[in-house]
Amino acid sequence: MTEQGSLIEIVKEFIESGKAELPVFSTSAMRVQQELIKAEPNLQVVEKIISCDQSLSTQVLKIANSSFYKGLVEVATIKAAIIRLGMQEIGRVALLAASKNQFRSSNPTLNRLMKKLWQHSVGVALGAYWLAKRCKFEHLAGHAFFAGLLHDVGKLFVIVVLDQLKKQNKDLYITEALILEAIGSLHTEQGYFLMKRWNMPEQYCVVARDHHLVDFDPKDMVLVLTRMADMVCGKIGIAAHDAPQDLTPETTLEATLLNLTEVDLAELEIMLEDTAVLAG
């Protein structure tokens, strides 16, 4: 067995043994999402969910005041942030903020990978949302955002498991290359498993499972939007690995299905490059 094979096996066995502690999904974030996909979301409900969660409101204000969103005056309250950004936007910021809290580790290598992964998840969420609007799938924009944010949750899960394994066995041999191999080969299957355990709607579980599948369902537009945003993020280096991938998103089936031109994709790249500031 190769070292890569063995690390993958160790992770799989640990998850299958039931001993792995699963990451938890923020209930506040779930409630915000449920409100946001309603035809007429209620401002007070969103404000209350965020304000009642201390760490969430701190993060929301941090992101709302980041250079990506920043206006002339710094906002100090959730209400002011809602007025500044609008409720739909603040709802999305709340989802980003809630997810950010999960991407932390005391192990420096894992922590660095988690940060990059969070930046990638934000990029894909905002990218899928932008594409939905651009491609006249406005009604799917909220779903595309959420699906994009969670599409690689299996990677987070595998990193969390590695973190637990490393704490149990300090001699466990893990290098960044081995970690990337493990998350690369396990994350779709484990992401699907985790999303199911979180009782997420099937639509999002499918995205976690099928976003790299060659033979994917071309009628599942949320999946197509997420795949497209994922590819563009990979191309410009907003990915779990450092080097930008050599990709031509404009020639893919996804681009054809979405009727995207090269100009659309160039605009998307510019928008995505700005999202990097959110990761700070």
Q: Which residues bind Fe ion (CB under 5 A)?
A: 152, 230
Q: Quick check: 143 and 222 in contact, CB under 8 A?
A: yes
Query: Can you read off the two tokens belonging to residue 273?
Result: 């490059």
Q: Give least dist CB 120 to Fe ion, A.
A: 6
Q: Which is nearer to Fe ion, 50 or 96 (CB)?
A: 96
Shortest distance, position 148 Cβ to Fe ion, whole Å: 9
41 or 189, CB closer to Fe ion?
Answer: 189
Nearer to Fe ion, 230 or 254 (CB): 230
Nearest approach, Cβ of 13 to Fe ion (angstroms)?
Answer: 22
Two structure tokens written together for 250: 């404009």
Pick 82 or 207: Cβ nearer Fe ion: 207
Nearer to Fe ion by Cβ, of 45 and 180: the residue is 180
Least Cβ distance, residue 103 to Fe ion (angstroms): 14
Q: 234 near 216, Cβ under 8 Å?
A: no
Asked if residue 43 lies in contact with residue 82, where contact means CB atoms within 8 angstroms, the answer is: yes
CA dist., res. 11 & res. 162, Å (int): 7
To Fe ion, the closest distance from the beta carbon of 211 in angstroms equals 5
CB of 149 to Fe ion, least distance (A): 11
Q: Which two tokens stand for residue 63?
A: 């992101």
Collect all residues with Cβ–Cβ distance below 8 Å to 226 and sequence separation of at least 6: 124, 128, 144, 147, 148, 151, 207, 211
Nearer to Fe ion, 230 or 264 (CB): 230
Written as six digits, the tokens of 136 are 């006249």
Spell out the SS3 assignment of 36-68.
HCCCCCCHHHHHHHHHCCHHHHHHHHHHHCCCC
